[in-house]
């Protein structure tokens, strides 16, 4: 039976669109059953509706700092849709530790850096200022600590000398759209399991996927 997934967004929903597209495959072990936004003007809501996915708005602004109150309303929608897994796709609101614990091992997020490097804000600018030669994106389980949960999957891209935060972000976004659906596939299929605070992947195929940047001559 396919796992029932809710995607939470606050903006354009580009990763949401990648997840919806991947879930159309007959053999994909999850189905996207609802998209929820905390902002009524989020561009992703129209995209979800156009794809035939129910789109729900729960405005967070009226709740102010009452995160628990917002989460009670959110949980009611999740319960109504019998959700098994949550995917955060640019969802710009912090959760309480109680909510995160309730969804332990069942809530995923994607961050545009190779965690544990550059968690939080401005990851691309910080990567460039640090002079890294490889950057990328990370799909991880959500924990109360920001961008610190067990890592499910990562994808890397080279960093160019002429990069700006914008050009690097665009290159990393392509990787995000590739790895988020694959990470969801692993979790939904039960192939990604948290063990001692680390995510273990069952039955991995050994591949030479080395990325060296700058490329050796």
Report pLDDT for 208: 55
Q: Report whether 185 contacts 30 (CB < 8 A).
A: yes
**pLDDT for 210 beyond 60:** yes
Cα distances from 156 to residues 11, 47, 131, 139, 208, in angstroms, run 24, 27, 15, 12, 14
How do the domains of the chain map onto residue ranges? 1-103, 110-217
The 10 Å Cβ neighbour count of residue 194 is: 15
* pLDDT number for residue 142: 98
- 144-153 confidence digits (pLDDT tens): 999 999 999 9
Tokens representing 22? 């991947």
Q: What is the pLDDT of residue 199?
A: 96
Which CATH architecture group holds 1-103? 3-Layer(aba) Sandwich (3.40)
The pLDDT value given to residue 202: 83
Write down the pLDDT at residue 46. 97
The torsion region of residue 55 among left (phi > 0), alpha (psi -120 to 50) and beta comes to: beta
121: Cβ contacts below 8 Å, ≥ 6 apart: none
Local structure of 164: helix, strand or coil: coil
pLDDT at residue 173 greater than cutoff 80: yes
Arithmetic mean of pLDDT over the chain:
94
- pLDDT tens digits along 3-32: 999 999 999 999 999 999 999 999 999 999
CATH class name, domain 110-217: alpha beta
Beta bridge partners of 153: 139
Q: Rounded mean pLDDT of 183-200?
A: 95
Q: Assess whether pLDDT exceeds 60 at residue 118.
A: yes
- List active site positions: 111
pLDDT tens track for 27-72: 999 999 999 999 999 999 999 999 999 999 999 999 999 999 999 9
Specify the 3-state DSSP secondary structure of 59. coil
Specify whether the CB–CB gap between 11 and 46 falls below 8 A: no
């Amino acid at each position: 039976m396919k796992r029932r997934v809710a995607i939470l967004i606050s903006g354009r929903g580009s990763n949401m669109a990648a997840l919806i597209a991947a879930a159309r495959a007959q053999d994909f072990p999850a189905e996207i059953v609802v998209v929820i936004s905390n902002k009524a003007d989020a561009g992703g809501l129209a995209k979800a509706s156009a794809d035939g996915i129910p789109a729900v708005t729960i405005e967070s602004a009226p709740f102010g700092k009452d995160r628990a109150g917002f989460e009670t309303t959110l949980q009611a929608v999740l319960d109504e849709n019998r959700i098994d897994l949550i995917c955060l796709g640019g969802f710009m609101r912090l959760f309480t530790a109680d909510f995160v614990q309730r969804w332990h091992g069942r809530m995923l997020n994607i961050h545009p850096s190779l965690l544990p490097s550059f968690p939080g804000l401005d990851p691309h600018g910080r990567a460039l200022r640090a002079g890294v030669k490889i950057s990328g994106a990370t799909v991880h389980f959500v924990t109360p600590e920001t961008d610190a949960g067990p890592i499910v999957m990562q994808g890397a891209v080279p960093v160019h000398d002429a990069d700006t935060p914008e050009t690097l972000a665009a290159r990393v976004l392509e990787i995000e759209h590739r790895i988020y659906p694959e990470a969801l596939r692993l979790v939904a299929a039960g192939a990604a399991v948290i063990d001692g605070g680390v995510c273990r992947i069952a039955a991995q195929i050994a591949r030479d996927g080395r990325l060296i940047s700058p490329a050796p001559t």
